[in-house]
Amino acid sequence: MAEERLQKVMAAAGVGSRRACEQLIAAGKVRVNGRLVSELGAKVDPEQVQITVDGKPVHLPQRHLYLMVHKPRGVLGDIGDDPDGRPTVLDLAPAGMRRVFPVGRLDLHSEGLMLLTDDGELAHHLTHPRFQHPKTYYVLVEQRPGESALAQFRRGVDLPEGRSAPASIRVVQRLPAELNLGAGPTQGVWLEVVLREGKKRQIRHMTAAIGHPTLRLVRWAIGPLTLGSLKAGETRPLSRRDITALRQMVAEQPAGAAKQSKPIQSASAERGRRGATRRRSPHAR
């Protein structure tokens, strides 16, 4: 973990305000790994040091882990007991990482963005059906669906778990330039689908219901977070900006928002809309 100023680490541990922690350091009351530290500019790695104040240890809060994974096809998206011993997304995590769990699911034959974390609260907000956060997928079908089929998809179709909620779907001429697809079929027509619910094998059931079975299914985005250029089988830690964006979405998205009349937009469409707004505004910088 990156080093941070000592007073910031102490404040995060609940010792006091950052100003109060600075005063404790200046007064010679703080030791790091047994060594007296009185300089306010000192930096420490909170996961690698023992801090004491007046001889009493400071118990540092353990920071959560957040990892993005590009799940390939043929890798299990859950971590239940598998009698066949097939690889799971956890096998893609760096060796030695402490226990994490997948956020949501992707079936064996689907691919794309998954998150691994030990932050149960954020995982709950991202996956519980009542929060209805958007997820964007690219779906390959054999032929272009007609307008009536697309309209049926948008209205909702009957699934084994009940009728689906309204969803967004559109035909796209190309995939995002940064998307690194793994091996698999590419011939056909790509659809961009945005869902706010996550019934089991939902997209596959929905495309089959309108007469266009899914040939390939790639999750591209969870809210504002996209797969970017991550290659199949690769992982990367979420940046602070990524985590902030997810938390902001969770904070701003009220439960039941999908029941409102606001149209569903994909992450790529939303970025384009914002860019157009900035270009139109004479005050944009």
| Residue 78 and residue 52 share a domain | no
46 and 168 in a single domain? The answer is no
pLDDT tens string 36-85: 999 898 999 887 889 999 999 998 767 788 999 999 999 999 877 778 88
Cα 225-228-234 angle, rounded to 5 deg: 105
Give the pLDDT of residue 63.
76
Same domain, 84 and 51: no
Residue 112, C-beta contacts closer than 8 angstroms, at least 6 positions apart: 70, 71, 106, 137, 217, 218, 219, 220, 227
- Asked whether residue 207 falls in the same domain as residue 139, the answer is yes
H or E element in which residue 58 lies: none
Q: Are residues 36 and 153 in the same domain?
A: no
> Which residues are tagged catalytic?
107
The pLDDT tens digits of the residues spanning 146-192 come to 999 999 999 999 888 889 989 999 999 999 999 999 999 999 999 99
Residue 281 has pLDDT above 50, yes or no: no
- Is the pLDDT at 244 greater than 50? The verdict is yes
Q: Is residue 101 one of the residues assigned to a domain?
A: yes
Domain contains 70:
yes
Does residue 285 lie within any of the structural domains? Answer: no
In which band, very low, low, confident or very high, does the pLDDT at 211 lie, cut at 50, 70 and 90?
A: very high
Check whether residue 106 and residue 208 sit in a common domain. yes
Q: What is the pLDDT of residue 139?
A: 98
Residue 260 has pLDDT above 50, yes or no: no
What would the mean pLDDT of 28-41 be, rounded to a whole number? Answer: 93
**CA quadruple 252, 257, 260, 261: dihedral positive or negative?**
positive
Residue 15's domain is classified under what CATH number?
Answer: 3.10.290.10
Q: How far is CA 205 from CA 54, 130, 142, 258, in A?
A: 63, 21, 15, 20
Quick check: is 195 in a domain? yes
Same domain, 109 and 150: yes
**pLDDT digit string, tens, across residues 11-25:** 878 888 888 899 999
pTM of the model: 0.72
Question: Same domain, yes or no, for 42 and 176?
Answer: no
- On whether both 90 and 199 belong to a single domain, the answer is yes
Average pLDDT, the chain: 86
8 Å CB contact between 142 and 189 = yes
The answer to whether residues 107 and 202 belong to one domain is yes
Q: Is 245 exposed, middle or buried (0-12, 13-18, 19+ CB in 10 A)?
A: middle
Tokens of 124: 């709950």
Q: Which domain holds residue 41?
A: 4-57
Task: Report the domain count for the chain.
Answer: 2
List the CATH number of the domain containing 136: 3.30.2350.10
For the record, the structure tokens of 253 come out as: 């998205």
How many other CB atoms are found less than 10 A from the CB of residue 63?
12
The answer as to whether 192 is a domain residue is yes
| 19 lies in the same domain as 123 | no
DSSP 8-class letter at 237:
E
Backbone angles phi, psi at 126, to 5 degrees: -80, -20
| 186 burial via Cβ count (<10 Å: 0-12, 13-18, 19+) | exposed
Report yes or no on 189 lying in a domain.
Answer: yes
Q: Are residues 19 and 150 in the same domain?
A: no
| Per-residue pLDDT tens over the stretch 121-141 | 888 888 887 888 999 999 999
Q: Which pLDDT score, from 0 to 100, does residue 127 have?
A: 84
